Amino acid sequence: MEQTAIPSAAVTAVAVLADDLIWASRLRAAVANAGFEPRVVRRPEEIERGFAVIDLAGRGYDGVAAVREAASAGAVVLAVGQHDDVDLRKQALAAGARRVLSYNKLFSDGPNVIARLVGGKL
């Protein structure tokens, strides 16, 4: 996987909201591989201005509501979810996600997408 990080002095941390241990570690790794510091959050209300990656399949929180809350707080949100759940992905976009990726796309190209998002290219 090629890394095209675009680190910025203004952006040092990207909030990561996921309660599945495997996906939480993959999301943190994608953020780190993009050249940014993953900041683990446990609840949507912990996300502030800046950037956030949100797993839509959270069991302890509503993924779409988390996107809405983070976007309302001023965060640029990248949401991730099942590739075949088109309705959920549309809801996340309507709630304010800048992009919604499938888990597969995030796993295969997450650092590049995160770098472009944080670098203002998406």
Q: Which domains does the chain have, with CATH numbers?
A: 13-117 (3.40.50.2300)
Token reading at 25:
């570690």
CA 15, distance to chain mean position in Å, is: 8
Query: Three-state secondary structure along the chain?
Result: CCCCCCCECCECEEEEECCCHHHHHHHHHHHHHCCCEEEEECCHHHCCCEEEEEECCCCCCCHHHHHHHHHHCCEEEEEEECCCCHHHHHHHHHHCEEEEEEHHHHHHHHHHHHHHHHCCCC
Distance CA 99, CA 111 (A): 14
Per-residue pLDDT tens for 76-108? 999 999 988 899 999 999 999 999 999 999 888
112 in Cβ contact with 106 (< 8 Å): no
Mean pLDDT (the chain, rounded): 88
Which has more confidence, 8 or 52?
52
pLDDT for the residue 9: 45
- List the one residue out of 110, 122, 60, 51 whose CA is nearest residue 80: 110
Report the first-to-last Cα separation within the chain, whole angstroms: 20
pTM recorded for the entire structure: 0.88
> What is the share, in percent, of the chain residues with pLDDT greater than 90?
74
- Please, which pLDDT band fits residue 121 given cuts at 50, 70 and 90? low
